Amino acid sequence: MKQPHILCDANDVGKYVILPGDPQRVVRAAAYLEDCQEVAFNREFRTIKGYYKGVAVTITSTGIGGPSTAIAVEELIDCGAKYFIRIGSGGAIQWNIEIGDLIIATAAVREDGASKMYVLENYPAVADIQLTYRILETCSRLKYKNHCGIIRSHDSFYIDNEEEIMAFWNSKKVIASDMETATLFTLAQLRGVHAASILNNVVKYEGNVKDGINDYVENEAAAAEGEKREILLALETIYSLHHNS
């Protein structure tokens, strides 16, 4: 039976799933797969399947935010998915993180609404330790610069008191923001599947949040390189997992 939102069934989805937010990132990731085909594209949920060095991989976009991520993850689990690696974009909140650097989340502050519908706020949103460790090992083998730590997942991209919030989380040593990881981690723990999250940093501040942000710096080439790296890191991790577990 096809799932109502992702429009996939068990024949379309493998054990290993990569989760970008953006449906266009699915298309860019397809370039790294062999025998790749689009399985479905409904609303924000675009799914492709193919092989990376002979290992079956599914890639599904979650759209932006917790609600659509929860829908995608629930339906993918129903189709048989067991391992999830988010490949997102994020905004650094520590100033040593450059555009295109990879951020590997150990846990996420639950500022999302979706995970709160599942379980109390004091339940932690933590990454799967073994999967995350394998990502870190793969990252050092590929010699990709990375920052590993706690991130925060929020629900509102545009807010009035953003600098205040950034300064607060900066002081708590939280390293980046995104909008999906907390929902993914919470749900994966509750459903007994494995989840990890890699973000490509797309934001660098001019000035310092504590003294006032002057501007955001953009660097499209570095951001594109970061995206390429997070795709390859996820694929190489899956390959390593498949052959060594």
Ligand X SMILES: O=c1cc[nH]c(=O)[nH]1
Task: Report d(CA 79, CA 191) in Å as an integer.
Answer: 13
| The one segment of 19-27, 39-47, 158-166, 231-239 that binds ligand R1P by CB under 6 A | 19-27
Fill in the per-residue mask, 85 to 104: x = in contact with ligand X (CB under 6 A), - = not in contact: ----xxx-------------
The stretches of the chain forming alpha helices (DSSP H) are 23-30, 66-78, 114-118, 129-142, 162-171, 181-191, 220-243
- Per the listing, tokens 């609404």 go with 113
Q: How far is the CB of 9 from ligand X (least distance, A)?
A: 31
Q: Which residue is nearest to ligand X (CB)?
A: 91
Question: Binder to ligand R1P among 26, 29, 179, 196 (CB under 6 A)?
Answer: 179
Asked whether the beta carbons of 206 and 216 are under 8 A apart, the reply is yes
Q: How far is the CB of 22 from ligand R1P (least distance, A)?
A: 5
What are the angstrom distances between the C-alpha of 195 and each of 13, 69, 192, 219, 228? 16, 13, 10, 29, 20
Q: How far is the CB of 200 from ligand X (least distance, A)?
A: 9
Question: Binder to ligand R1P among 20, 66, 100, 226 (CB under 6 A)?
Answer: 20
Question: Binder to ligand X among 76, 85, 202, 238 (CB under 6 A)?
Answer: 202
Reading the block at residue 209, the tokens are 């949040």
